[in-house]
Structure formats: C-alpha cells, structure tokens
Chain A
C-alpha cells in the first residue's frame, strides 16, 4: 500500500468527551494522518461515535483540544470547517420524501454564498458524487423509496459533494450486504489512493479493516488500546483485551496482512442479562 507514516492532519490531544456529566472518552490522543484510510474499531459503547462527533466539531470536548493542521477547530466557523471536513453520522435523518438529488445538493452548502446561483462547480461536484456512489439512476427517487443500502450511498454522496479533504464516517457499512460493503470499502480506498482524501471510518469487521485500511485504531473504554498497521495491531492478545474474543491470527492467503479467525467470546450472559467478562 502506502508509506508507513504521513504528517498528521487532524489531531486530538488529551480530549475528555462526555454527555450529561458522564465522561465517555478519557484523556485520549489520536492523530489522523493525511492521505490515509484509518479504521476505528472497538466494542459497542466504547466511545467510537462520541470521538467521531467530537472530531467533526459537533460535540465540544470537556478538556483537551482538537486541531486541524495545528489550528484548533473551535476557532473555525461551521462553514470553514465543513469545507475541509465532512461527517456522515451513523443514522442520519432527513424528511422521507426528499429526493436523492436534493439531499446531495445540500452537501454544497459550505461552498455557496447567500443568494448566489447554482454554479458549474456545484453541479460538477454533485454529478461526480452521484457517479462515484452509483446513484445517478436513482437521483430523482425519494429517500423513502430506497433500500437501506441505497439510502446509505445517497448519504455518502451528500458527504462527497461537500468536496472536503477529510471524511469522517460512522459505520458506513452497517446497513449493507456483503457485496455492497466490499464495494463501499473499495470506493473509500480509491478516494484515498486517487483523490488523496483522508478517511477515518468506524468499522465493525476487523478483517475488512485489515484488508482496506492503512491504519487501525482500536478503542476500548474510551481510550486508544492500539494503533498502527494491521500486522502490528491484529494480534490474539490485543483482540482478546479489546473485544473479549478468543481466536487466532493467520496470514491472509489472498492479500498481504493478517486474518483473524474468532473461536469464542470470552463473555457470559448472566441471569440478569448483564455482560460479565470472564477473563
């Protein structure tokens, strides 16, 4: 793939983030490298979405700073930030009867001045976003008429129309079947390789992450439990600690890199339905 390290573009330093007086992420530091595809992984409730929302500037950290090329994002206006960074929430919502095209055009918001007409650049960015996500034929359909996977691609098209260098994606593969998952991950890979985009995506499948991403960041209980290339991060020990899953790591016969084969979960469900970790 690419060179092992690249300059850091988006940086969180000692951030503590939480809702309603409860800290979910604790004094966490992470640097997202320019022109790389970083996958963020971790068990449910470990703070992945919270961290992503903070990196997108939607949630102000209680302590610590998040900076974009050295400038704290709190100093940028929403519009300035949106021109450089786009974010796709886990379950985005919009009125059901909005069409794909109208949704994608919303991605141009940070590039348009009040009352300015629709420009050639706006049109080009929307057309390209629709083409990249294979949504051209569905552009005039209302969102409600689409399948879960198509809807997800419509939202991704809106995010791409924003023409930002950084894409933060919260579980973009969740509603997709296996073929669409692979297609989406290949698209993300291409955006990084061909367009020089910087991507941070929350993924669930560690093998897909190992196959498509440059870097893996493992999050556990609100702090980074490991970050690096797949070969360094995917080890039986780290996966046991982070995911409470026992298994073994094999060389991937189809591609360079490791493959994790799960054997059993190290958790038991007790009578109250609570998870209790055995190890």
Chain B
C-alpha cells in the first residue's frame, strides 16, 4: 500500500497535513493547464488577459464562456461526488457505497429530466431542488430494498439494489430524452454525465449549494468519523446515531444532487477517490474526507481535459470516468469479496 508514512518524513499528523497542502497546491496549476486544452490553440498566459481585460476576441470568449465554466464545474463536481462517496462509505461501513452505485445520481438525474419534460421549469436554481428530491427518494428506496431479508443492509445487497434502481431509472430517463423531440443535444450529453456547454451563470447558480455542502461535510468530519466505527461503538461513546445518520444522508443528497444538476450522473468518482484517499491516510475519515475533496476535483478535471489532450476527442466525462472506474470497481469488489457477503 503506497502509504504517506513511507513517502514523507516527520510525524504522522504533520505528514498528513503536508500531503493535503501538496494536493491542494496542485489544483490551481492543473486548472490553468485545463484552460489551455481544446480544439483551438490558446497561449497558456492568455487566461490572465482574458480575466483582467476581456477584449471580446474569439480566444477570450472561448476561455471565459466555454473553458472557464467547464473547468470550474469539473472541480466542483469532482470534489462534491468524492466527499459524498466518503461520507457514504463511512456511514454504511460499506466499501462499495457511492452516489453512483447506490442509485443516488440516477435518482437525481431522473427527477431533473422529469421536471424538464413535464413542467416548464428550466432554471438550474429550481431544477437543483428536483435533483435533491430525486437523490433523497432514490437513496431511501435503495436502503429500504437492500435492508429486506436476513442480515439487514449488507454491502452486496445494497450494491445490487442500487444497480437495479440505477438500471431502471437510467432507462426511463433515456426514454424520456429520446421520445421528447424537443430536447437539446446539450441535455442528452448532460444525461451521460458531461461538463460540456455549462454556462458561467449555471455554475454560479449551483456552486453555492455544492460549496455549502462541502463546508458542512468538512465541519462534520469528526462525528462522521465516529459513525464509521459502527452504531454500537458510536452510541456507547455518546453519539446520537440516528440524528447523525440522517444529517450525513442530507449532506450526501445536497452534494450529489447539486453535482448531478451541474454535470449529470458522473459515476465512479465517489467510489474510487475515497479508496485512494484511504490508501494515503488510513482509516481516519476526517482525513479521508479532507483528501477526497482535492483528489476528486483533480480526477474529474484531468479525466475531462486529459482525454481531449491525449486523443483529441471530446468525450463526456461520465464516459471517461466509466472507462477509468470500471476496472477499479472490479478490483475493489474482488479484493473485498470476503467483506461483502
């Protein structure tokens, strides 16, 4: 296991803090690099001019209206989904828990498409509430389905219930999009999980939910760590387990719901990133959550811009993440198969 303790000198706490600072310091240069990637060549230094003295040139418009919102959306969505996944893995003691696998992303996406198809609502600030509702209802359904029968909500039963609900909701969502002749290409891309075509206004409308969710999640890291020890131990040391499980669920709904409203159901981020963070810092969920935010932001940013830079094809990031994440998922499921029964 590539543990930080082996790489960095000093005491454990200092090593973890130093690692976190390094990760956060990586975000700005990677974000600026992402601004340079695209079909038209733009000099790396031009973002500064574009921000400070926008002159309406084609390059400046591309930077400000296309690449900047895309980059910001990638950072937000990555951090939000990764932290949501970390919370879910802590609270359910389930290595396979994540907003993608347990149907929460699919539920949020379904609710948004439903609202677009059957109401006249199309403002992101209103649609996000449908995403919250869909995420909450889907999460509740998966938990209820997975809890039926002997042994309660085991990791495997939850993952199966999540897979079933995701398959169902995704096919209904796709049908709605295909049947509705009026839907834009933009929306179809969104339904596959994509950062393309977000306006800066949309990002600005949805960012407060995501940022508030991230801030609350990091503030609640300590009780979430206590929850990760299991209900019995948590109650013994004085935690109101029911209240904190509900609050953690609410955080997941806000983080995953607003991420889906922004970029559609992007999978695997919430599964893979907390595992990577755990390999770096161990079982302490306070650090896992703190690491997950920059790691998730970097992963989505690099997956989105990297595929364009490498092969020049503009793939929706949801598809890139599925290509990257599926092998990791299989490896995790095999390694943890003893725990899943």
- A residues adjacent to B (C-beta < 8 A): 56-58, 77-83, 86-89, 92-99, 102-103, 106-107, 109-110, 112, 114-115, 140, 142, 158, 162
Chain A residues near B334: list those with CB within 8 A: none
Chain B residues near A58: list those with CB within 8 A: 232, 235-236
Chain B residues near A106: list those with CB within 8 A: 225-226, 229, 233, 237
Chain B residues near A107: list those with CB within 8 A: 237
> CB distance A97 to B232 under 8 Å?
no
Render B226-266 as a binary contact track against A, CB cut-off 8 A, 1 for contact.
10111011011111110000000000000000000000000
Assembly CA distance A110 to B238 (angstroms): 5
Checking A87, A95, A115 against B229 with a beta-carbon cut-off of 8 angstroms, the contacting residue is: A95
9 closest pairs, A vs B, by CB?
A82-B238, A110-B238, A97-B283, A109-B237, A95-B283, A79-B238, A98-B283, A94-B229, A87-B236
Q: Can you list 19 residue pairs at the A/B interface with Cβ under 8 Å?
A: A57-B235, A58-B235, A78-B235, A78-B240, A82-B236, A86-B236, A87-B236, A94-B229, A94-B230, A94-B233, A95-B93, A96-B283, A98-B282, A99-B284, A103-B229, A106-B225, A106-B237, A112-B222, A142-B282
> CB distance B284 to A102 under 8 Å?
yes
Chain A residues near B51: list those with CB within 8 A: none
- B residues adjacent to A (C-beta < 8 A): 12, 93, 219, 222-223, 225-226, 228-230, 232-233, 235-241, 278, 282-284
Q: How far is the CB of A254 from chain B (nearest CB, A)?
A: 36
> CB distance B284 to A98 under 8 Å?
yes
Checking A77, A89, A99, A142 against B236 with a beta-carbon cut-off of 8 angstroms, the contacting residue is: A89
Assembly CA distance A98 to B232 (angstroms): 16
> CB distance B238 to A83 under 8 Å?
yes
- Most A CB contacts (10 A, CB to CB) among B228, B229, B240, B284 go to B229
Q: How far is the CB of B219 from chain A (nearest CB, A)?
A: 6
> CB distance A109 to B239 under 8 Å?
yes
Assembly CA distance A214 to B93 (angstroms): 40
Assembly CA distance A103 to B278 (angstroms): 16
**Known contacts A96-B283, A140-B12: A110-B237 contact under CB 8 Å:** yes
Chain B residues near A56: list those with CB within 8 A: 236
Beyond A77-B240, A99-B283, list 9 extra A-B contacts (CB 8 Å): A79-B239, A80-B238, A83-B238, A95-B228, A95-B229, A96-B283, A99-B282, A102-B283, A107-B237
Q: How far is the CB of A251 from chain B (nearest CB, A)?
A: 40
Chain B residues near A115: list those with CB within 8 A: 219
Assembly CA distance A78 to B236 (angstroms): 8
Q: How far is the CB of A123 from chain B (nearest CB, A)?
A: 13
| Chain B residue at minimum C-beta to C-beta distance from A95 | B283
